Copies of this chain bind each other. A is one copy, B any other.
Amino acid sequence: MNPRLATIEPSQIRALAAKKRPTSIDLGLGEPTLLPQQRFIDAAARETAVRGMKYTLNPGDLELRTLIARHYAYPGMSEGRNVCITGGSQEAMYVAMKTLLDPARDEVLIVEPAYPAYAKIAQLEGIAVRSVGMPAATEFRYDPGAIMAALRPETRLIVIGSPSNPTGRVITRAAAQSLADALLARGGEPVWILDDELYRELTYVDDAGSLAAVYPHTIAINGLSKSNALTGLRIGWTIAPAPLCDELIKVHAWLVTAANTFGQRIALGIFSEPGALSEQAAWYRERRIAVLAALRDSGLTFVEPDGAFYACVKLATGTDSLAAAYRLVDEHDVVTIPGSIFGASLEGWLRLSWVAPIDAFRDGLARIASAALV
C-alpha cells in the first residue's frame, strides 16, 4: 500500500455529517440548495440524442475553453489554449499541485483559514506544506505582508481562495495588487499562486480583487458547482499561462482522460447565454441581507461574509471547536463545521452555511447561542 495514505486523517466533516438526524438543522452544507437551470440540462439531453456521448479532446471542448478564457479575460491567458476543463474544481486543484511542484524540493504555502483539501492533496503527493494564518483580530482579512513574510526559499506555490471557504473573505483590489507587486519585486524563480475562485460569482462587495488579473504566475481554478447549483456535474477548470497549461493538460489526461461531455455541453450553454453564469447570484445577495440580520439578532460574534454562503461565528474563548460541533449535533440537533479543520487560525470558531431555509438558519443560531458556548 502507498504509505502516504496512512498519514491522511479521515474527514471530520463526513464524520459530523454522519451524525445528522432527520430532525437536524443542517448548517454544515457545502452545496447550494437551489435547483440548477433545467433549460441547460434539457438542451444537453437533446443534443445527446443527435450527437451521442463521445469523448471530447483531453482538455475539453475548444469552444467551451475559448468562451471561458474570454469571459474572465485574464492578461496572458485569455485564449482557449489557456483553459483545461476538469472533473470539478477538486481535480483542477489536484492537477495544478501535482504538475507545478517537485515533491523533492518544493513547498506549498496555504493561506488559512482554508478549504482542507489543499493540504490533503499536498500530503497525498508527498509535497511539503506550510500554512500562514490570517488572524481573527483582523477578521481573517487577507494580509499581503503576512503572506510575504511567510515565504521561504523553497516555497513555489501560494494557495489562496477568494471568496474564502470558510470565512467568506474576498481579497481587496489593493491587497491583490500589493501581493502581486511584492512577489514580482522578489526576483528569482517565480512563486506561483493557485487562486481558488470557486465562489467568485457569489461576491457581495464592490472592492473585489483578482490575483489572476494582476499577477502573471497565477493558476485560477473555478467551476460551475456553486454559481449554478451543479456540484454533482463535476465541471471545473484551470486557467493558466500557455506553457504551463500544456503540462496541466498532460497530467489531467492521464488522471481522468477528459471531463464528462454532458457537463461540458451544459457549461457551453451557460457560457453562451449572457447572464446565465450569475443568474442565481441574486438569490444569494437577497438571502445574505436576512442572514446578516439574523446574525446580529443572535448576539453571536460573526464575520460578515464578503462572498460565498458561509458565516463564521465565534465560540466562547478557549472552546474546542470540534468538541463544540459534536456537542451541538448530539445535544442540540444542529450540524455545524468546526473551525479547526480550516486551520489553527479558525480554532474557536464554527463555520455555518446559510443555504438552508432562513427560519432554520435563525433557529440554528438560537440553539448555538443558547448552548452557552459563546
Contacts and interface: CB of A to CB of B under 8 A. Distances in A.
A269 to B, nearest CB: 13
Contacts of A36: 48, 52-53
A38 to B, nearest CB: 5
B55 A31 contact: yes
Interface residues of A, number: 61
30 contacts: A1-B100, A1-B247, A2-B101, A2-B102, A5-B251, A31-B55, A34-B52, A36-B48, A36-B52, A38-B48, A44-B45, A53-B229, A53-B231, A54-B231, A56-B232, A87-B87, A87-B234, A87-B256, A88-B256, A90-B256, A91-B255, A94-B255, A121-B254, A124-B251, A232-B258, A234-B257, A234-B259, A234-B261, A260-B263, A262-B262
Given A8-B250, A102-B2, A229-B52, A255 B255 contact: yes
A120 interface: yes
A233 B91 CA distance: 16
Nearest to A8: B250
A5 B99 contact: yes
Interface in A217-239: 229-234
A121 to B, nearest CB: 6
- By CB atoms of chain B within 10 A, which of A87, A98, A121 has the most? A87
Nearest to A53: B232
Contacts of A281: none
A184 interface: no
A42 interface: yes
Interface of A is mostly: helix
A254 B262 CA distance: 23
A2 B100 contact: yes
A228 to B, nearest CB: 9
Nearest to A38: B49
Given A2-B100, A55-B231, A262-B233, A94 B41 contact: no
Nearest to A121: B254
A141 to B, nearest CB: 29
Contacts of A3: 102, 104
A35 interface: yes
Given A10-B250, A262-B262, 4 more contacts: A3-B104, A87-B234, A88-B256, A233-B261
Interface string A248-286: 001101111111111100000000000000000000000
A232 B250 contact: no
Contacts of A253: 11
Interface string A1-44: 11101001011001000000000000000010011101001101
